[in-house]
Amino acid sequence: MGKLKAALENNKGVDHKLEKQKKLRKQAAKRKRTAASKNEDAPQLDELDISRIDDTDTSADEKNDFDSEADEPEDPADANGVSLNAKQNGAAHTNGGAEQDDEDEEDEEAEDIPYSDIASLSSDDRGDVVPYQRLTINNHAALTASLARIALPLTSLPFSAHQTITSAAPIEIKDEEDDLTRELAFYAQSQAAVLAARAALTKEGSPFARPADYFAEMVKSEEHMGRVRARLVEDAANKKSAAEARRQRDLKKFGKAVQVAKLQERDKQKRETMEKIGSMKRKRSNALPERENENDMFDVQLDTESKKPSRSGDKDQGKTNHKRQKKNEKYGFGGKKRHAKSGDAQSTSDMRDFSAKGMKSKPFTGGRKRPGKARRASAK
């Protein structure tokens, strides 16, 4: 069937490829037309959306922060929150320096990015980006007005009415993390204030210190003070026991050192004696052949040290202890006891017990073979 159709088309001269291309072209043109008609509406919509989003953004900014960004360049004085606030309060802002500062800050702000955006970056990406901060609101006029409204007329009041002392110079603390110096500075400030206040109060005739027999309820209850006292006692006890323990430890260490020194001393003494004896022996063995020098060989020191005759009895050579000799012959007199049974060259060459007949007896391998390990184990 298919072959028939192909033959027919071949006859007519139909080009499949050409037809396909035509079809595609048509489809493309159609698509283009429909797209053009849609696009007429779409871009307008997009623009509208964008503008709306922009609007809401700026309005939110203005509402949330007091800083009006560089949107309104026509009034530079109005471009910071301070003067806005001043207007609200109906008081003109007079601090020109502060304004200048604020303007500077705003110039910086234009290039900065908010802190929250930076935080999401990783630390190496952050680099040296300066995060922008909220604009400072510091309305001097309103602050002083508020202060004037509530302030007490301190100058016209007697000191006993307010009991306030302000230090003449500001307290300077270099490092606020340093607890000790910080607390000392606080202490010094308060103490100076107490002295000044006491002088002022005594001048006015007001009572200062309470009499010793005046008892009244205290801020901290007796129970609380008891706890504080118990803690103090505990601390003191802890400190004392720690000191005692330390002393004991030190003593122990010292005692050990003494012991070690004593042992070393003893060792040294022993070594010296041994050396002396060794040298003596050496000299003696050297001197054995010529006995006439014997007297020279012994140190004078040794002579004085031991008057006892030596064991070998060599000292008085003329006399021989015959009894001793006999006994020595009979029992031996010490000497080497090790290796007495081990063979040497002499015992090896000793052939007295050898017999040729013994060599001809049945061979050594004739006996039963030793069973294997497993068999031995199972036989048990």
Partner 1 sequence: MAAVYKALSNGSKKSKPSTDTSTPDPTTIALLKQTRQRLLLLPSRGVTFRHRHLLNDLAALLPHARRESKLDTKTQLTQLNELADLYNCTTVLFFEARKGKDLYAWLSKPPNGPTIKFHVQNLHTMDELHFTGNCLRGSRPILSFDGAFDAAPHWRLAKEMLRQAFGVPPGARRSKPFVDHVVGFTLVGGRVWIRCYQIAETETDKSKKTDKMDKQTVEGESGGTSLVEIGPRFVLTPIVILEGSFGGPVIYENKEFVSPNAVRSELLRKKAGKFNVRARHGVETKAKLDELGLATGGKKMPRDPLDNREMFA
**Residues 126-155 interacting with partner 1 (rule: CB under 8 A):** 133-140, 142-144, 146-147, 149-153
**Identity of the residue, 87 or 249, whose beta carbon is nearer to partner 1 in the bound complex:** 87
Shortest distance, position 105 Cβ to partner 1, whole Å: 10
**Identity of the residue, 39 or 238, whose beta carbon is nearer to partner 1 in the bound complex:** 238
Q: Among 20, 23, 26, 198, which residue sits at the site for partner 1 (rule: CB under 8 A)?
A: 198
Q: Among 76, 114, 131, 158, which residue sits at the site for partner 1 (rule: CB under 8 A)?
A: 158
Binding mask 258-287 for partner 1 (x = CB under 8 A): ------------------------------
Q: Which stretch binds partner 1 (CB under 8 A): 42-50, 208-216, 263-271, 348-356?
A: 208-216
Token look-up 């720690």 returns 242
**Identity of the residue, 90 or 372, whose beta carbon is nearer to partner 1 in the bound complex:** 90
Tokens representing 321 are 């202890």
Write the DSSP string, 19-71: HHHHHHHHHHHHHHHHHHHHHTTHHHHHHHHHHHHHHHHHHHHHHHSS---TT
Specify whether the CB–CB gap between 83 and 93 falls below 8 A: yes
**Identity of the residue, 1 or 169, whose beta carbon is nearer to partner 1 in the bound complex:** 169
Specify whether the CB–CB gap between 135 and 102 falls below 8 A: yes
Number of residues that bind partner 1 (CB under 8 A): 79
**Identity of the residue, 89 or 103, whose beta carbon is nearer to partner 1 in the bound complex:** 89
The residues facing 113 across adjacent strands are 131
Tokens representing 97 are 């320096």
Specify whether the CB–CB gap between 203 and 195 falls below 8 A: no
Tell me how far apart the alpha carbons of residues 192 and 199 are, in angstroms, rounded to a whole number: 11
Q: Among 62, 129, 165, 297, which residue sits at the site for partner 1 (rule: CB under 8 A)?
A: 165
**Identity of the residue, 184 or 260, whose beta carbon is nearer to partner 1 in the bound complex:** 184
Q: Among 50, 184, 195, 243, which residue sits at the site for partner 1 (rule: CB under 8 A)?
A: 195
**Residues 218-257 interacting with partner 1 (rule: CB under 8 A):** 218-220, 224-225, 227-229, 231-232
The residues facing 114 across adjacent strands are 132
Specify whether the CB–CB gap between 82 and 137 falls below 8 A: yes
**Identity of the residue, 46 or 108, whose beta carbon is nearer to partner 1 in the bound complex:** 108
Shortest distance, position 82 Cβ to partner 1, whole Å: 10
Q: Among 74, 75, 111, 176, which residue sits at the site for partner 1 (rule: CB under 8 A)?
A: 176
**Residues 32-71 interacting with partner 1 (rule: CB under 8 A):** 66
Beta carbons within 8 Å of 94's beta carbon, 6+ residues apart: 140, 141
Q: Answer yes or no whether residue 215 interacts with partner 1 by CB under 8 A.
A: yes
**Identity of the residue, 95 or 276, whose beta carbon is nearer to partner 1 in the bound complex:** 95
Q: Which stretch binds partner 1 (CB under 8 A): 13-21, 206-214, 341-349, 370-378?
A: 206-214
Beta strands 113-114 and 131-132 are parallel
**Identity of the residue, 207 or 313, whose beta carbon is nearer to partner 1 in the bound complex:** 207
**Residues 86-115 interacting with partner 1 (rule: CB under 8 A):** 88-89
**Residues 298-337 interacting with partner 1 (rule: CB under 8 A):** none
3-class secondary-structure state, position 99: helix
| CA torsion, ordered 15, 21, 26, 30, to nearest 10 deg | 160
Give the CA distances from residue 220 to residues 7, 113, 217, 334, in Å, rounded to whole numbers and listed in that order.
Answer: 118, 53, 8, 93
Q: Which stretch binds partner 1 (CB under 8 A): 25-33, 117-125, 242-250, 336-344?
A: 117-125
DSSP code at position 315: S
Q: Which stretch binds partner 1 (CB under 8 A): 2-10, 68-76, 191-199, 332-340?
A: 191-199
Tokens representing 204 are 């006015």
Shortest distance, position 99 Cβ to partner 1, whole Å: 15
Specify whether the CB–CB gap between 132 and 112 falls below 8 A: yes
3-class secondary-structure state, position 114: strand
